[in-house]
Amino acid sequence: MVETKLNDAGATTSIEEIHPDILIQIMRHLDGSSLASVNSATSYLRSISSDPDLWRRLCLSTWPSLHHPHILPLINSSPHRFFSDAFPYPTSFTPANYSDIPDKLISAVDLYQHDIPISSFVVESDTSYPTPLNVPFGIKGLDIITDMLPEELTLSWIVIDPTKGRAVNLSSRKALVVRRHYWGWEAVARFTLARDGWVVGVLGKWLDEGLGLVELGLYIWDEGGVPVYKMEGLRVVMAAMEAERKAMGEKEAKEGYFEYCNMKINEEELRQKRGWLGI
């Protein structure tokens, strides 16, 4: 039982004595992490914080792109589950031999400056469309115009399986690496996650940082840094959807990515040594 002290005389009251309507009004002002903590505090708070309307409001305020008519029914049917899928990070990208890859995936993309949404869009991808086997996996986003620097932005890229109603966020939120004057672009930013030797996430390419076109796309690279092909990429995405979730900060996301980079460097050095030795 949670108790709250009311006065110096030692009078206390339990949280259960506070009217549910008052608690719901308070909970509507909480962010995702805070509401999840409340949901696990006591059985009484859990019963109140499980109100679907709370989670629906939170989903739509956190990710404005979810107002799309092809996504909104999924949010309305199970908003708490959707938030639990899309807010924390997936813990694994190890692909399995999924035979039921959906015919369509929906990407809900939101861009923020100082946690304030500034741009949103939705991309629907037909995964059943036949493509050559040697075409790399990629979901091209809409180009946007912004005068914001890569370091000033936060990005969310949620991939949704509309058939099962599952979702996964494949962006690191903050850019882990920003390279200037790279391959003809003014800047290239990686909003990526590294797991199990795979890197999954978004590349943002700035044509002009003053007031320029930004090209966004979701891509996947293997342990050698090579882009994976379409079917393998779809299996990685499905593995991420099915994986357990974990809350993770920017520091931990960077550590995972740089660990992957160091592993790639070490493997390249080993290949060079084997070449020198004729192994």
Supply the Cα-derived Rg of the chain in whole angstroms.
22
CA distances in angstroms from 242 to 86, 91, 98, 156, 167, listed in the order given: 12, 10, 11, 19, 9
272 sits in which H/E element: helix 250-277
The structure's pTM equals 0.83
d(CA 122, CA 218): 13
Q: Tell me, what's the pLDDT at 158?
A: 98
Q: Tell me, what's the pLDDT at 19?
A: 65
Three-state DSSP class for residue 279:
coil
Q: Return the C-alpha torsion angle 247, 167, 62, 60, nearest 10.
A: -150
Chain segment 214-229, per-residue pLDDT in tens: 899 999 998 888 899 9
Q: Tell me, what's the pLDDT at 267?
A: 59
Instruction: Write out the chain's pLDDT in tens, 279 residues.
Output: 444 445 455 556 677 767 666 777 777 767 767 777 777 777 777 777 778 888 999 999 999 999 999 999 999 999 999 999 999 999 999 887 766 789 999 999 999 998 899 999 999 999 887 766 678 899 999 888 888 888 999 999 999 999 999 999 999 999 999 988 877 788 899 999 998 889 999 999 988 655 567 899 999 998 888 899 988 999 999 999 999 999 887 788 888 888 888 876 665 554 554 444 444
In eight-state DSSP terms, residue 135 is S
Please state the domain extents for the chain: 89-269
